[in-house]
Structure 1
């Protein structure tokens, strides 16, 4: 079975935070506000978790979704993946 995109996630200093579908990055960021220092939020890396448990950035995620046949929609940015492209 091919690796797939399974949830939106953020990463800060090696710590990954995600929420289950259909959560979007804004919801993950809102949840993270209670755990991360205020100055950290603008610097977090937004990405996704894969079915292999890996955190990947938006560019890697679009490639994985395409190869996995998840058929991402285009929401105006054909390089990066957004949760709206999948769910």
Structure 2
């Protein structure tokens, strides 16, 4: 039996480069890490999302759908469309 794809970490992506930290890291921690290594980065230019168990970067909307299908039972933080790390861990 094949396991469903799951959300495994918070991540950001810019120009094809993905930066992530393992759970329970939040997006703010990932952004802070990026700032340490990329001092000239532009915060608004990053897309916030998640990495899946298949190694894919997905945006917040895709992540909510994947988490739901995988049975990760995302809590709601007031936004029914997007997924936030607080919804999972």
Same fold (TM over 0.5): yes
- Cα offset, 1:17, TM superposition: 0.1
Superposition map of 1:8-27 within 5 A: 8-27=10-29
Q: C-alpha separation between the residues in 1 aligned to 2:73 and 2:10?
A: 16
Matched, 1:73 2:75: yes
TM-score normalised by structure 2 residue count: 0.93
Residues 18 and 57, structure 2, Cα contact 8 Å, conserved in 1: yes
Shift of 1:11: 0.2
Does the CA-based 8 Å contact 2:14-2:46 persist in structure 1? yes
Answer yes or no: is 1:82 the counterpart of 2:87.
no
Unpaired segments ≥5 residues, structure 1 = none
C-alpha separation between the residues in 1 aligned to 2:73 and 2:40? Answer: 35
Contact 1:12–1:40 under 8 Å retained in 2: no
Q: For residues 54-77 of structure 1, give each alpha carbon's deviation from its aligned partner in whole angstroms, at most 9, with x where no partner exists.
A: 000000000000000000000000
Q: After the TM superposition, which residues 4-83 of structure 1 pair with which residues of structure 2 at under 5 Å, given as runs?
A: 4-83=6-85
The answer to whether the 8 A contact 1:10-1:16 is kept is yes
TM-score, length basis structure 1: 0.95
| Cα-Cα RMSD | 1.0
